[in-house]
């Protein structure tokens, strides 16, 4: 069974969408894959409470590695890697995980570490993507699922979806419509990755 570990920092809506998709679309039967664990860097993250509720129904482990307890990024990433490796992940999924990872951590999971970013990469890496898209006069906004490399918000693109920017959009209204697309795109992209991996293994 291929284990998937999800990292979160906030509300966990993408994590929940992935868990629901794994159940609904029978990832265990189709790809030999399951959501094994959800790990947060914040004990107060809303998504952690949601993950604990899902754990009862889906057998998902949860863990917290509080980044503020570590003196350096490297020390935190080493502790995070230990928590992740306890579940022998075939795939590590960043779902609203708001930490810049060190090159050592990224290299450890090269080829099996994915992220979702709310823009049409390579446009608008980093933060405040929705306001930047509006300020630039973009007619469309987007969301991108990509493999993680040491360069922030870069790496091979796995999937993208486009959302129109409406004349009266604010960053908040645009973000809401983009998030709805994230909930659909991320599970599809992960399923595609699992399908490709299954084919290679066979």
Q: What confidence tens digit (pLDDT) does each residue in 124-133 have?
A: 999 999 999 9
Q: Which entry of 58, 67, 87, 117 is annotated as an active-site residue? A: 117
d(CA 169, CA 146): 26
Radius of gyration of the chain (CA): 17
Which pLDDT does position 197 carry in this prediction? 73
Task: Say whether 87 is catalytic.
Answer: no
Residue by residue, what is the 3-state secondary structure of 99-139? CCCCHHHHHHCCCCEEEEECCCCCCCCCCCHHHHHHHCCCC
Which pLDDT does position 200 carry in this prediction? 39
What φ, ψ does residue 188 adopt, rounded to 5°?
-65, -40
Q: Residues 6, 18: contact at Cβ < 8 Å?
A: yes
Place of tokens 């809303």: 46
Stretches in the chain below the pLDDT threshold 50:
199-202
Which pair of structure tokens corresponds to residue 90?
């075939």
d(CA 190, CA 89): 14
Q: Torsion-angle region of residue 140: left (phi > 0), alpha (psi -120 to 50) or beta?
A: beta
- Strand partners of residue 33: 2
Structural domain tally of the chain? 1
Q: Which residue range is the domain that position 67 belongs to?
A: 2-201
Looking up residue 139, the CATH number of its domain turns out to be 3.40.50.170
Which pLDDT does position 125 carry in this prediction? 96
């Amino acid at each position: 069974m291929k284990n998937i570990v999800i990292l979160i920092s906030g509300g966990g809506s993408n994590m929940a969408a992935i868990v629901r998709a794994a159940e609904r679309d029978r990832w265990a039967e189709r790809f030999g894959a399951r959501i094994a664990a959800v790990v947060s860097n914040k004990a107060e993250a809303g998504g952690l409470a949601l993950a604990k509720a899902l754990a009862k129904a889906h057998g998902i482990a949860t863990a917290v590695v509080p980044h503020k307890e570590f003196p350096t990024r490297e020390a935190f990433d080493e502790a995070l890697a230990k928590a992740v490796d306890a579940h022998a992940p075939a795939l590590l999924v960043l779902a609203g995980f708001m930490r810049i990872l060190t090159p050592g951590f990224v290299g450890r999971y090269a080829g099996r570490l994915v992220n979702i970013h709310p823009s049409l990469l390579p446009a608008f890496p980093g933060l405040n993507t929705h306001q930047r898209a509006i300020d630039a006069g973009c007619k469309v906004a987007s969301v991108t699922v990509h493999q993680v490399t040491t360069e922030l918000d870069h790496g091979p693109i796995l999937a993208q979806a486009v959302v129109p920017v409406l004349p009266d959009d604010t960053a908040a209204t645009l973000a809401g419509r983009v998030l709805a697309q994230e909930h659909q795109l991320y599970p599809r992209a992960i399923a595609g990755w699992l399908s490709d991996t299954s084919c290679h293994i066979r």
